[in-house]
């Protein structure tokens, strides 16, 4: 059964660029596991503007099934970047979602 995830990411203080670089690297692996990054957006805020608790980045990722998701999460190229992730990402929230309507 296909899996669609909404991923919300909050950056550690001053590390938005590092979070973006990390996500560039790991999201490039998604297609190798049969998935697609359907949407990737960032919080609209001027530099130095208070972030107000909103996530820095939001992604919609689709994968063919739970096995593909597990394979992506365990990909050694992804796990090798855990130290970068720990420095860049303060919080991650992953929400399984379903498409609504035909937009």
**Percent with pLDDT over 90 in the chain:** 84
pLDDT given for residue 102 in this prediction? 74
DSSP 15: -
Strand, coil or helix: 100: coil
Is the confidence at residue 103, as pLDDT, over 70?
no
Phi, psi of 4 (to 5 degrees): -125, 130
Mean local confidence (pLDDT), 83-101: 96
- The per-residue pLDDT for range 33-65, each reduced to its tens digit, is 999 999 999 998 766 666 678 999 999 999 999
Count the Cβ atoms, other than its own, within 10 Å of residue 2. Answer: 13
Mean local confidence (pLDDT), 79-96: 98
**CATH number given to 3-96:** 3.30.70.100
The residue to which tokens 């960032």 are assigned = 42
pLDDT given for residue 34 in this prediction? 99
Mean local confidence (pLDDT), 70-92: 98
List the domain boundaries for the chain.
Answer: 3-96
């Amino acid at each position: 059964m296909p899996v669609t995830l909404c991923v919300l990411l909050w950056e550690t203080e001053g590390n938005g660029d590092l979070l973006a670089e990390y996500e560039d690297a790991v999201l490039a692996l998604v297609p190798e596991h049969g998935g697609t990054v359907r949407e990737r957006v960032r919080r609209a805020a001027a530099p130095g503007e208070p972030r107000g608790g909103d996530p820095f980045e939001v992604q919609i990722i689709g994968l063919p099934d739970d096995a593909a998701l597990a394979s992506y999460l365990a990909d050694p190229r992804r796990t090798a970047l855990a130290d970068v992730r720990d420095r860049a990402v303060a919080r991650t929230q992953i929400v399984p979602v379903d498409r609504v309507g035909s937009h």
